[in-house]
Amino acid sequence: MKRWWLVIALLLSLGVNLGILSAMAISRLAPDEPRPSSGRFPQAVGDTRDLARRVGLAEEETQAFRALHQSFFERARRQRRESMELRQRLLSELTADEPNGPRIDDILARLSTAEAEMERAMVETTLQSRELLDAEQEARYLRFLVSRLHHMGGRPGMGGPGGRRR
């Protein structure tokens, strides 16, 4: 087996794991519906009303914050769907009787671009959100982001079991 195929196999494995995490995230991105409050941050990432309330936004501040996040969630859904389709095409190509190297390279390049666009959207939304918040609200918002990143497979030390919390 050539090293090139080993890299592809590792990327495929990573893609499958990311696909599973993405599918879990998409299932949590339901439209805003009233949810019972447990005193903790919202479990559904797409619940922008609860997030705005937990961050401590006044009613007049909530609209811009919610609109920003709702736009991000809609964009994220589309990008995740595209990434999942690309992963499926990659898997189909890898399991074909005669895999097409240039086609695989093209799919990998498009998958990398889609993932980078998703990260860029998250960064832009975070930076724009921080501009809308005062220091206390920003601290709550950042704690929420860290907890979500940890929950969705973030690095150790970001909070949660065995991790450090502030």
CATH code where residue 62 lies? 1.20.120
Is 108 inside any structural domain?
yes
Element (H, E) at 26: helix 3-28
b/e per residue 116-133 (b: at least 16 CB within 10 A) = eebeebeeebeeebeebb
Whether 6 is covered by a domain: the verdict is no
Cα separation, 35 vs 102, in Å, equals 48
Q: 48 Cβ partners below 8 Å, 6+ apart?
A: 32, 65, 66, 69, 70, 73
Residue 151 domain flag: no
How confident is the model at residue 27, as a pLDDT?
Answer: 52
Helices assigned H by DSSP within 56-100: 59-94
Q: What is the pLDDT of residues 33-88, one digit of tens each?
A: 444 444 443 444 456 778 888 888 888 788 888 889 888 888 888 888 999 999 99
Domain ranges, residue 83: 15-24+43-145
Q: pTM for the complete prediction?
A: 0.59
Whether residue 122 lies inside any domain: the answer is yes
In a domain? residue 10? no
Q: How many domains does the chain divide into?
A: 1
